[in-house]
Structure 1
Amino acid sequence: MLLQDLIEEYLYVNQARGYTRKTLMNKRHEFKHMSNFLINKRGITNIESVTKFDLQAYVQHKQKTGLQPQSIQSMAKIMTAFFNWCVEEEYLKVNPMDKVVLPKVPKRVLTGFTVEEVLKMIDSFSYKSYLEARNKAIIAMLADCGLRSMEIRGLKNVDVGETILVNGKGNKQRFAVVSPTLKRILIRYERLRKQYFEDRLIRSDNYFLTYQGEGMSHIALYNVIKEAGKRAEVENVRCSPHTFRHFYATQSINSGTNLDIFSLSKLLGHSEIQTTQRYLQSMTDAQLLDKAISSSPLSNLNKRI
């Protein structure tokens, strides 16, 4: 069976499974590089001819081009999933990626926000206008729910109520809790949004909208977080949705609610518990945790938001 034909079939399968356009583009990009290497450097056109030695050579080739270990690990996941599918569909008997040696990823300890910094970022926005209230609600939701960028931007009005229905990676759904503290902020945001769009056209059913009534872009969300960090004078910490997920993870595991790492992994939408563990490595080293928190990250902080 031709390698290129199976790659195309696999991509259509992924599309049918509901993978995002960005994910499909990443997969297609990687398969293009892999197949070019196998065809041009190893003389392989059929899937049956691919061996672990060919794939090991490809990994080494990527290392020589300067690709970092973390990126190679991500690349290997895409390749492994493809060959696993080939085995499931009986195009192959074994996955040739099974015994390919990958470079180890250096362990990095994530540095995150302190409680003080998060509170300052939330307080840096007011309720004086729709956009100010929207930005306050976005920062509060990121801190209290730990959503990814794509997840918070993709929220629809029907998704937000007493809980939040989150559409995560790979179209996997999960629920996030709306704490009383966050609920109060969201109620005021929704009131101002209703007033603002009373005589304006709304072009999207997204929960968070631009001033033109459209869904927010990736850059627009980052600009909100960047502005929050600037107003709150946050230094030496990257202001991003990922850093808020780290804050949520470390605060939740030490909230006094006996939340275990397996439950936290599900709340974060992680497919592997190792990812969650990496979020928690900084707890002892950075000593940023407040063990007196007894519920959500924003609740019981003894400060009016």
Structure 2
Amino acid sequence: MSKGLLLENLLNEYLLDIRLKNYSDRTLKSVKNNTSLFFSFLETEFNITTLERLSHIHIKAYIKHKQCLGLKATYINSILKNLSMFFSYLLEEEYISTNYAKKVKLQKEEKVIIKTFNDKEVSAMLKVYNFSNHVNARNACIIAMLLDTGIRNSELCHIKICDIKENAILIFGKGKKERLVPITPFLAKIMLRHEQKRRLFVKEHYEHQYYFLSQKGKKLTPETIERIVKACGKQANIRKDIRCSPHTCRHYYAQAQLRNGLDVYSVSRLLGHENISITKRYLQSIQDEDVLTMAVKTSPLMNGR
């Protein structure tokens, strides 16, 4: 192990590395905050500021500290994952010979039931916005695209005209990873009506590379998308215990695809998940009745005779 290396300097080096790898700003912020808080704990409790005095015991002490504060297992695990990313980098760069965070077990998380819209609510949401002008047509297309592709809020904002293919949309996800999501006939019809209004709108303003534009002809922000979905949910009378957000549209898409029989691996690819374990959470939220219906559709004897 290299001696006398300040942890703060190593963190700055690591942050530069993940910037070069085009990680999202959200990931960058999460890693920086969680790792910096860990370093503050080390200095306050153990007077540790350099790498040479650090071991997995100190990570365990930090996790115990977080448990005493009453933090949930999911939050603690996110901290551990961020620390593991940092120590993996140090291992790759040969600053250390083992990843200390890997020696600390993840917390057992409670089974989370992901609540989302039902089909009736989705039908109501799709009827909220008409196609009378550019803004209404744009909003109608945003709602339909979120529900019919499951893409993230930030991914939708970044869609450019050149990303729209004949029957698919090129999406740039986390870590700038590319994937394609299909344009269904239902979505294609709504996109066409949006594009007709968009063409009239840009003639009066100026051409812009982004697919969804603000009233000033600029790229939309995630905050604007949040407001559009929230307003849509209010007008559609969505249940009060359901959060009306772009991410809830993503939840709906995932659960609907699984209920309709698409395999977990394919759903995971369409959602742009890093691993299949994230997608499996949606399976936990599917009702037993839906599982029974799915089983009948895929019955070996029903389909093999």
Deviation at residue 173 of structure 1 after TM alignment:
1.2
SS at structure 2 position matched to 1:86: helix
Residue 200 of structure 2 is aligned to residue 186 of structure 1: no
Q: How does 1:266-285 map to 2 (within 5 A)?
A: 266-285=269-288
Residue 212 of structure 2 is aligned to residue 208 of structure 1: yes
Indicate the residue corresponding to 1:233 in structure 2. 237
Indicate the residue corresponding to 2:300 in structure 1. none
**Among 177, 182, 191, which residue is 1:177 paired with?**
182
Residue 48 of structure 2 is aligned to residue 38 of structure 1: no
Instruction: Write the letter of the residue equivalent to 1:17.
Output: K
Q: Is the 8 A contact 1:114 1:288 kept in 2?
A: no
Instruction: Write the letter of the residue equivalent to 1:80.
Output: S
Instruction: Write the letter of the residue equivalent to 2:10.
Output: L
Indicate the residue corresponding to 2:20 in structure 1. 16
* Number of residue-to-residue matches in the alignment: 289
Instruction: Write the letter of the residue equivalent to 2:266.
Output: S
Indicate the residue corresponding to 2:301 in structure 1. none
Give a deviation string over 1:187-214, Cα, whole Å, max 9, x none: 1101101112211145x52211111111
Q: State the TM-score, normalizing by the size of structure 2.
A: 0.89
Give a deviation string over 1:46-76, Cα, whole Å, max 9, x none: 2232111100111122233343222211111
Q: State the TM-score, normalizing by the size of structure 1.
A: 0.89
Q: Cα RMSD over matched residues? A: 2.0
**Among 245, 254, 263, which residue is 1:260 paired with?**
263
Structure 1 distance, partners of 2:45, 2:217, is 51
- More displaced 10-residue stretch of structure 1: 280-289 or 208-217: 280-289
Give a deviation string over 1:190-249, Cα, whole Å, max 9, x none: 1101112211145x5221111111111222101111111111111131111221112111
Q: Is the 8 A contact 2:152 2:247 kept in 1?
A: yes
The 1:44–1:286 alpha-carbon spacing in structure 2 relative to 1, beyond 3 Å, is farther
Q: How does 1:1-305 map to 2 (within 5 A)?
A: 1-162=5-166, 163-202=168-207, 204-235=208-239, 236-256=241-261, 259-285=262-288, 287=290
Q: Is the 8 A contact 2:259 2:286 kept in 1?
A: no
| Structure 2 gap segments, 5+ residues each | 298-305
SS at structure 1 position matched to 2:131: coil
Instruction: Write the letter of the residue equivalent to 1:183.
Output: A
Give a deviation string over 1:102-125, Cα, whole Å, max 9, x none: 432221111111122112101111
SS at structure 1 position matched to 2:213: coil
Q: Is the 8 A contact 1:251 1:289 kept in 2?
A: no
The 1:155–1:84 alpha-carbon spacing in structure 2 relative to 1, beyond 3 Å, is same
Give 4+ residue runs of structure 1 displaced > 6 Å after superposition. 288-291
Give a deviation string over 1:244-275, Cα, whole Å, max 9, x none: 1121112212335xx31111111111112121
Structure 2 distance, partners of 1:43, 1:100, is 21
The structure with more helix, counted as a fraction of residues: 2
Structure 2 distance, partners of 1:275, 1:19, is 18
The 1:89–1:76 alpha-carbon spacing in structure 2 relative to 1, beyond 3 Å, is same
The 1:130–1:286 alpha-carbon spacing in structure 2 relative to 1, beyond 3 Å, is farther
| Structure 1 gap segments, 5+ residues each | 295-305
Identity of paired residues, percent? 36
